Amino acid sequence: MDLFRQKIIAVTGASSGIGLETALAFAREGAVLCVGARRRDLLNDVAARCRETSRDQALPFTLDVTNQQSCKDFIKEIIENYKRLDVLVINAGITMDALSYEVDPSILRELMEVNYFGAIQSVLPAIPYLIESKGTIVVISSITGKRPVPTRSGYCASKYALHGFFESMRLELKSKGVHILMVCPGFTDTEMQNNRRGKDGTPVPNKIPRKYTMSASAVATKIVQATRRRKKEIILSAVGKTIVFLTRWCPPLADYLVCKNMK
C-alpha cells in the first residue's frame, strides 16, 4: 500500500466507469487523485469520494481531451498544485456499434479524435514531469486493440493506433525510466456501453449479455496491481485471453467464435 501513498495520480475520463473505479482504487492505496473529465458535476462527486477513501486530497479538473489547450491546462494545474506527477491514467474514450460499410465517416473521425488523438494530447504535456518522477503511463486500450470484431471497426482502429503509438513511446522513454502499461479489458459493464454510437451517431442500446462482461471495479483492481508490478500489458477476462490466444495460434477459430458471439 505504501508504494502509492501520497503519489500524484491523474485520471482522464474519470467521471464514470473504469476511470471512476480506477481513481477510487488508487485512492484506497493512499494516493492523491487528480480527476479530469467534461462533466464537472459528476467529477465533484468523484473527487469527494476519493478524498473520503484516501483521507487525503483529491481535485477535480474540467477536461476535454479533444481540446489540446484543455489537456495542457489539465497538466499545468496539476503541477501548479502538487509540483509533480507520478502516474497518468489515460482512460477517456467512446465506442460504436455499426457495420463498417454503413457507418457515417464522421463517427469514425470522432472515435479517432477522442480515443487516439485525445490520448496523445493528454500525455504529451505530462512527459517532462513523468521523466522527472520516473513515473508510469497507464493506457486503457481494449481487447479490440489486439483482435478486430464485427460492428466495432472504428473503435478497433482507434485502439490499434494506441498500441502503435505507445509501444513506440515505450522504447523512446525506457532509458529515461518512464514505464508504460497497456490495459486491454474485454466487455466491461460501464456507462460507455450504453452510449455506443450507431451508424448515424445516435446511441445504440447495450445488448451484451452480462456473462461476457467484467465489472469496472474488477478492471480497476487489476490496473492497480499491474501498475505496482510495472507490467507492460495486461489482457483481462478469461474470454479476452482466450480470443487473443486463438487469434495468434488459430485465427480461423478465433474468427468463428468472435462472429458467432458478436452476432
Q: Which residues are catalytic?
A: 155
Q: How far are the Cα atoms of 8, 85, 179 from residue 136, in angstroms, in the given order?
A: 11, 9, 5
Residues facing residue 203 across a β-bridge: 197
Q: What is the distance between the alpha carbons of residues 162 and 120, in angstroms, rounded to a whole number?
A: 9
DSSP string of 150-191, one letter each residue: TT-HHHHHHHHHHHHHHHHHHHHHGGGT-EEEEEE--SEESG
The C-alpha cell of 170 is what?
Answer: 515505450
Q: What is the distance between the alpha carbons of residues 234 and 226, in angstroms, rounded to a whole number?
A: 7
The single-letter code of the amino acid at 256 is Y
Nearest Cα neighbor of 37 from 19, 58, 57 is 19
4-13 in b/e form (b: 16+ CB < 10 A) is beebbbbbbb
CB proximity list for 251: less than 8 A, separation 6 or greater: none
